[in-house]
């Protein structure tokens, strides 16, 4: 099928060792073997087993990155193709480029830490770890597969474990939250299936769902717009985009800490990844028309969710809304026609994956001690839990984009990329930058208020008398430490991460800029605006390599 390869897209590099298939199959096979693990019912052996499986998976992905992945190439690498159901055009096609490789690493990394975070789980441990491992494989598959039908299957495969993890181990309102989650995500993923089938069958002939084949097709603009809108809803639910976000605070509010880490650390990134993979890469003509909408929605996300987070009195929901707010930067970056901005969006996903996971883990660890999530019932616990206080402070500062940590770099890249993005008119950029920067003020307000209400001040007598506030144990310090290493590493020297996907992003942005030039888009007045043709010709200067 390589005859479909388009100019500008280099041919896939075949994998010598099937690293990616292994990284998907190892956790899934591992999950299926869980019932065979000898266990006394308290989960003490299963948890070691699960931890080892997730660590092996992590090592496989690291090996894939080190041995089979060349960051300087923009095209597909580590590619594997096996014809699966030829009648349906379904192929087992996996591979990784700059868009997927960092997220695959993130997934296996966060999952192994989540496994460690799940240490105290004692209720139905076998089932819990079974689901955790299944989710690991499903999530890696989402990022690794190169076939849209497979993508849909992987997307769905990961929904069921999340649903069950929410519904069985969740909080008091777990049924409501889990149902809401499944309705939202399953309902919206319908659009993925529709779009996949439509795109695969487009143009007649043997249907093919491989990304390379889809990218080679010349969809009409109308068709692209239709598919784009459908996919935007599907991925907008996942990311989430306001107003499709209301499943998230409920789901996050009820999840246990390890599930929480996976939800915030990986699940939300699936939305951002899919936006880049399908909406930007496969539907460039529609993207150039929808991009201003993405930017506006991004700003709405940032401000709306930051304000909601400020007013929340429930700790978990507060952090959940803060996640939504941070995802706004991903939207702005994706909508910008600049390599810098899109790189920033990518980095923001990775960075939030790490920071969000650490904050949610801390929420869980704090809840284990205080047995309440209501800020009004907490206060002054910093005196007994000093190390916990320190960890919270570091993670909150990371979340409010303190320089020296990854969040700052990614937000700065999005800002700088968008501000210098000549595809948009100056007034539009000024307004958007100004509004998005309001988030810079709002984020510390809600995060520092939160710290103040939890840790500062006099100890609440009622809380102290009812609870045993022991300080962080080594396992907890270790988990946060593991998350902080990449957070600070990227913050100090962002090239560590950005170089791993730089060429892919640049190729993507250049294609989009090309597409924007071809499409005369009277319906998108913000692009081009009053600017005559020369402005567009200048445009590639920003992203040109």
- According to CB under 8 A, which residues from 330 to 389 bind other proteins? 338-340, 343-344, 380, 382-383, 386-387, 389
- Minimum distance, C-beta of residue 360 to other proteins, in the bound complex (Å): 20
Q: Is 467 in the site for other proteins (CB under 8 A)?
A: no
Window 287 to 316, contacts with other proteins (CB under 8 A): 304, 307-308, 310-312
Smaller CB distance to other proteins: residue 59 or 193?
193
Tell me the residue length of the chain: 545
- Minimum distance, C-beta of residue 175 to other proteins, in the bound complex (Å): 7
Smaller CB distance to other proteins: residue 59 or 197?
197
Q: Is 187 in the site for other proteins (CB under 8 A)?
A: yes
Q: Is 127 in the site for other proteins (CB under 8 A)?
A: no
Smaller CB distance to other proteins: residue 41 or 203?
203
DSSP string, 107-174: HHHHHHHHHHHTTT--SSHHHHHHHHHHHHHHHHHHHHB-BHHHHHHHHHHHHHHHHHHHHHH--TTH
Among 449, 489, 519, 529, binds other proteins (CB under 8 A): 449
Smaller CB distance to other proteins: residue 67 or 545?
545
Q: Is 8 in the site for other proteins (CB under 8 A)?
A: no
Q: Is 537 in the site for other proteins (CB under 8 A)?
A: no
Angle between helices 495-518 and 474-492 (to 10 degrees): 60
Smaller CB distance to other proteins: residue 110 or 450?
450
- Burial (CB < 10 A; 0-12, 13-18, 19+), residue 468, is exposed
Secondary structure in 3-state letters for 41-88: CCCHHHHHHHHHHHHHHHHHHHHHHHHHCCCCCCCCEEEEEEEEECCC
242 membership: H or E segment, kind and range: none
Among 114, 121, 330, 413, binds other proteins (CB under 8 A): 413
Window 217 to 256, contacts with other proteins (CB under 8 A): 220, 223, 226, 242-243, 245-247
Among 4, 48, 202, 367, binds other proteins (CB under 8 A): 202
Q: Is 75 in the site for other proteins (CB under 8 A)?
A: no
Contact region for other proteins (CB under 8 A) — 60-68, 94-102, 353-361, 491-499? 491-499
Cβ-contact 79, 146 below 8 angstroms: yes
Nearest to 537 by CA among 523, 506, 516, 522: 516
Angle between helices 247-254 and 174-201 (to 10 degrees): 130
Alpha carbon distances (Å) from 216 to 6, 9, 25, 405: 6, 10, 30, 39
Q: Is 216 in the site for other proteins (CB under 8 A)?
A: no
Smaller CB distance to other proteins: residue 78 or 241?
241
- Minimum distance, C-beta of residue 415 to other proteins, in the bound complex (Å): 6
Rg (CA), the chain: 23
Among 160, 233, 469, 535, binds other proteins (CB under 8 A): 160
Among 8, 41, 173, 493, binds other proteins (CB under 8 A): 493
Among 63, 197, 300, 375, binds other proteins (CB under 8 A): 197
Cβ-contact 295, 331 below 8 angstroms: yes
- Please, which residues have CB within 8 angstroms of residue 36's CB and are 6 or more apart in sequence? none
Q: How far apart are the first and last CA of the chain?
A: 29
Among 19, 408, 424, 428, binds other proteins (CB under 8 A): 408
Q: Which residues of 17-52 are buried (b: 16+ CB within 10 A; e: fewer)?
A: ebbbbbbbbbbbebbeebeebebeeebeebbebbbe
Q: Is 535 in the site for other proteins (CB under 8 A)?
A: no
- Minimum distance, C-beta of residue 514 to other proteins, in the bound complex (Å): 15
- Minimum distance, C-beta of residue 21 to other proteins, in the bound complex (Å): 25
Report the C-alpha gap between 261 and 111 in whole angstroms: 8
- Minimum distance, C-beta of residue 251 to other proteins, in the bound complex (Å): 13
Q: Is 509 in the site for other proteins (CB under 8 A)?
A: yes
Alpha carbon distances (Å) from 529 to 300, 540, 541: 22, 17, 18
Smaller CB distance to other proteins: residue 36 or 441?
441
């Amino acid at each position: 099928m390589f005859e479909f390869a388009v100019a500008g897209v280099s041919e896939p590099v075949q994998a010598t060792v099937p690293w990616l298939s292994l990284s998907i199959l190892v956790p899934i096979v591992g999950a299926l073997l869980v019932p065979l693990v000898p266990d006394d019912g308290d989960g003490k052996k299963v948890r070691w087993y699960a931890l080892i499986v997730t660590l092996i998976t992590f090592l496989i992905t690291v090996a894939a990155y080190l041995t089979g992945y060349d960051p300087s190439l923009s095209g597909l690498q580590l590619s594997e193709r096996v014809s699966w159901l030829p009648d349906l055009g379904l192929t087992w096609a996996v591979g990784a480029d700059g868009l997927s490789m960092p997220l695959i690493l993130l997934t296996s990394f966060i999952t192994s830490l989540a496994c460690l975070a799940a240490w105290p789980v004692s209720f139905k441990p076998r089932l819990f770890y079974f689901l955790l491992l299944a989710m690991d494989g499903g999530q890696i598959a989402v990022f690794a597969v190169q076939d849209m039908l497979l993508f849909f299957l992987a997307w769905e495969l990961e929904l069921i474990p999340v649903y069950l993890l929410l519904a069985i181990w969740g909080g008091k309102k777990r049924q409501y939250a889990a149902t809401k989650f499944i309705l939202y995500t399953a309902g919206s993923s319908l659009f993925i299936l529709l779009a996949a089938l439509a795109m695969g069958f487009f143009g007649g002939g043997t249907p093919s769902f491989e990304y390379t084949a889809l990218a080679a097709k010349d969809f009409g603009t109308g068709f692209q717009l239709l598919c784009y809108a459908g996919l935007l809803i599907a991925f907008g639910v996942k990311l989430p985009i306001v107003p499709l976000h209301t499943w998230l605070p409920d789901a996050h509010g009820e999840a246990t800490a390890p599930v929480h880490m996976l939800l915030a650390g990986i699940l939300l990134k699936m939305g951002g990844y899919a936006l880049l993979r399908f909406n930007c890469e496969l539907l460039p003509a529609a993207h150039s028309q929808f991009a201003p909408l993405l930017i506006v929605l991004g700003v709405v996300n940032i401000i709306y969710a930051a304000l909601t987070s400020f007013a929340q009195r429930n700790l978990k929901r507060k952090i959940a809304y803060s996640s939504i707010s941070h995802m706004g930067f991903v939207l702005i970056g994706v909508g910008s026609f600049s390599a810098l901005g899109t790189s920033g969006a990518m980095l923001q996903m990775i960075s939030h994956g790490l920071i969000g996971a650490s904050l949610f883990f801390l929420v869980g660890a704090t809840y284990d001690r205080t047995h309440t999530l209501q800020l009004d019932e907490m206060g002054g616990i910093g005196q007994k839990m000093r190390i916990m206080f320190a960890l919270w402070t570091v993670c909150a500062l990371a979340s409010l984009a303190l320089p020296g940590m990854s969040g700052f770099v990614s937000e700065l890249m999005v800002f700088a990329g968008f501000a210098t993005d000549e595809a948009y008119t100056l007034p539009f950029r000024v307004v958007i930058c100004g509004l998005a920067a309001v988030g810079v003020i709002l984020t510390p307000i809600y995060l520092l208020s939160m710290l103040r209400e939890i840790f500062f001040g006099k100890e609440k007598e009622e809380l102290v008398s009812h609870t045993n506030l022991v300080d962080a144990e080594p396992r907890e310090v270790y988990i946060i430490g593991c998350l902080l290493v990449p957070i600070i590493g990227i913050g100090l020297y962002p090239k560590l991460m950005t170089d791993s996907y730089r060429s892919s992003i640049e190729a993507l942005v250049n294609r989009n800029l090309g597409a924007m030039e071809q499409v005369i888009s009277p319906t998108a007045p913000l692009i081009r605006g009053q600017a005559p043709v020369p402005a567009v010709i200048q445009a590639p200067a920003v992203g040109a390599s």
